[in-house]
Structures are given as structure tokens and as C-alpha cells.
Amino acid sequence: MSAYLLYPGCSWDSSARAYALSTGAVCRELGLELRQLEDWNCCGATEYLSVDTVPAYALISRNLALAARQQNGAKTLTAPCSLCYLNLSKADYYLEENPSLNEKVNRALEAGGMHYQPGTLEIRHLLDILLNDVGLDTIRRHVTRPLNGLRVAPYLGCLLSRPDYRQRFSHPDQPHELDLLLKALGADVVDYPLKTQCCGGHMTQIGPNTAYELLRRLLHGAEQYKAHLIATVCPMCQLNLDAYQHDVNRHFGTRFATPVLYFTQLMGLAFGLEPKALGIGLELVGAREALAHIGVETPPPAQAPQRGRRRKKKSEGLPMPSMPEDDQS
């Protein structure tokens, strides 16, 4: 299969390490080559666009210019993070639509000895590549440990299917792509109505109360549908739902304990790969109990240097639940 250029994004080797590990492992199994873009810079997330327009588009487009230069036969630039994916697609699309913006951005790029002709690259999310280029048949052939009995809420978040400049997804609110892929793995896919509702983005840091309410709705929805876990396609969504679940519980007095894994981790499990090689155990809300449903034994959680107390998921008691990773087991 042809090589794809990978724009990993800033979280890839840190907060989304589980995504990076599992993507690497799954792509090796599938013989899919992802070549990492060299010297890429941050896409600016939502912050840079808030500060200034031309610099924000120049910041994003430097990556497009690098990718065009390093293409070497690869037409596709793939991003595993929804926000990176959106920003790269947005710049490519608006530069094409707005000649004046294109001219300014390219004059800025020139100051760094670069150039980008909009439309040169196809910018696609990793889910899109795995589903449409690798394909469900090939994926099914690699499944050796079907995820039967595992109830999964397929969660895409906002930015894959909205605004979807190049119309790559089936529906802005209820796209079925992730469902199809998870079903091919044998999972019991919950018809999760909140699948493209917002995780709060950077509001977990700037306006926590706004973000907590959005997260509460998502976690409540997953619980209502009796999902054992939530599958995500984006490091930002994963971070918010996983790392802030404890704060959401504290804020609302709830007891959510729903693990949030990357879809690539679930692919790896279904392919029979070692949980540890897929970054299972790096989640803050531990996935051990959930994965026991498919008979997968997970490595013991990394010890967080804080008070530890064993507490069952549903136990009655103090209104402030401790997270599963507090377990010292």
C-alpha cells in the first residue's frame, strides 16, 4: 500500500501516547506505512485562530507546505487528531476559496522559504484511511479475537463530520463510519445519540463549568446506553473524557467510571495484539473491568503517586468517588 504522510500533532508522543502506540501496532499488522512529516509545527488548535487570522492560517499552512515538499509520491496527509485534521483541512479549503488570504499566507510562507498551492494534498483523518483505503474486509480478516460482548459507545466528537469541507463523512451529526469499523471488530456497538456532541475542547482549562456540563452529558449518555466503554478518534476528546472524569464526578457528585479508549486500541485488541503494546493501562479511568468482558487481561495500572484506596465502581459511600487508577492492585 502506498505511503501516507502523518501529521501527528502535539499530543501524539505525550497525552495521546496510547493512540500513537496502538496506531503503530495496528498499521504494522495491516502493512500500512505512515511516514511522519519532518519538522512539523503545532496546528494552533483553537487558540491561535482566536488571536489572529493571517498568522493562524500561516502557522497551519507551514505544515501543508512541508508536506507538499516531502510528498514523494504520497498525496495524502493524514492526521489522527480531529482538531489538527480540521485545521489542516480548513486552511487548505479557505486558501482555495479566498485568493486574497491565499496570497497573504503564501507571502508569509515565503519569508521562511516555503510555498503551498491549495488542493495539492488530500487531508484525511486516520479513521477515514483505515475504513476507506484499508477497508472493512481487510480489517475483518485480521480479527482473531472478536470483541463480542463488549458494549462500545462510538464517539467521534465534533470535527470529523463538521463542517466536513470536503464531504468525506456520511452525516454531520450521526455519521456511521466509526460504528461500521467497530462492528467489523465484533463489538456490540451502542447507537450512541451523542456521538458528535462536543467534549468541551479547551474549555476544560478556560471555563471548566461549561466543559464539565458537556462531559457530564456524554458520560451520562454512555451510561444510559450501558456502554462498557467509549471509543474515541481524537486526543482532545480522550483527554477531556478520561482525565477530567474525576473532576466531573467531583463537580456533580456523580460516579461515572467509563473508560475511554482509542478506536485503534480496540482494533489492536481485536487483532489479538498485546494490551501493553497498545497502550492499554495509560488511561486514567482504568479499562480493566470493561476489557474483562472480552477476556482480555490488562497490565496493572501505572501507580499514581497519590492516596490510593480500593473502591468498587458502584460501591456506595463517600460522595467523592476515587478513580479506578487509584487502585494499588
Partner 1 sequence: MAHSPTPGDGLSLLEAVERKTPIPSRLEMCIQCGSCGGSCPSAADMEHTPRAIFALLRAGMDESVLHSNTPWICVSCYQCMVRCPQEIPITDIMYAIKNIAIQRGAAHKEEAAFSATFAEMVESYGRSFELGLATRYYLKHHPLRLPGMAPLGMGMLARRRMDLKPTRIKDVDGLRDILQAAREMEAAQ
Kindly identify the residues of this chain, within the stretch 174-213, that bind partner 1 according to CB under 8 A.
197-198, 200-203, 205-207, 209-211, 213
How many other CB atoms are found less than 10 A from the CB of residue 229?
A: 25
Q: According to the binding rule CB under 8 A, does residue 244 interact with partner 1?
A: yes
d(CA 146, CA 77): 30
- Closer residue to partner 1 (CB): 45 or 185: 45
Enumerate helices (H) and strands (E) in the chain, giving the number of each: 14, 8
Beta-strand ranges (E) seen in the chain are: 4-6, 34-36, 76-79, 122-125, 151-154, 188-189, 229-232, 260-262
Torsion angle of C-alpha atoms 280, 281, 287, 289, degrees rounded to 10: 110
d(CA 297, CA 316): 26
Site residues (CB under 8 A) for partner 1, limited to 259-288:
281-282, 284
User: x-or-dash pattern for partner 1, window 289-328, by CB under 8 A?
Assistant: -------------xxxxx----------------x-x---
Q: According to the binding rule CB under 8 A, does residue 46 interact with partner 1?
A: yes
Contacts of residue 276, defined as CB under 8 A and 6 or more positions apart, other chains included, come to 299
Q: According to the binding rule CB under 8 A, does residue 47 interact with partner 1?
A: yes
d(CA 36, CA 99): 30
- Closer residue to partner 1 (CB): 11 or 78: 11
Site residues (CB under 8 A) for partner 1, limited to 77-106:
94, 97-98, 100-101, 104-105
Look at residues 188, 168, 178 and name the one whose alpha carbon lies nearest to residue 139: 178
Q: Which residue among 1, 2, 28, 52 contacts partner 1 (CB under 8 A)?
A: 52
Q: Which residue among 4, 7, 48, 212 contacts partner 1 (CB under 8 A)?
A: 48
Q: Which residue among 68, 114, 136, 143 contacts partner 1 (CB under 8 A)?
A: 114
How many other CB atoms are found less than 10 A from the CB of residue 141?
A: 11
Minimum distance from residue 95 beta carbon to partner 1 (Å)? 9
Q: According to the binding rule CB under 8 A, does residue 229 interact with partner 1?
A: no
List residues bridging with 262 in a β-sheet: 232
Site residues (CB under 8 A) for partner 1, limited to 60-79:
62
**All three cell numbers of 126:** 486516520
Q: According to the binding rule CB under 8 A, does residue 253 interact with partner 1?
A: no
- Closer residue to partner 1 (CB): 81 or 187: 81
Minimum distance from residue 182 beta carbon to partner 1 (Å)? 23
Q: Which residue among 6, 26, 34, 45 contacts partner 1 (CB under 8 A)?
A: 45
Pairing status of strand 151-154 against strand 76-79 = unpaired
- Closer residue to partner 1 (CB): 173 or 297: 173
Q: Which residue among 1, 33, 110, 329 contacts partner 1 (CB under 8 A)?
A: 110
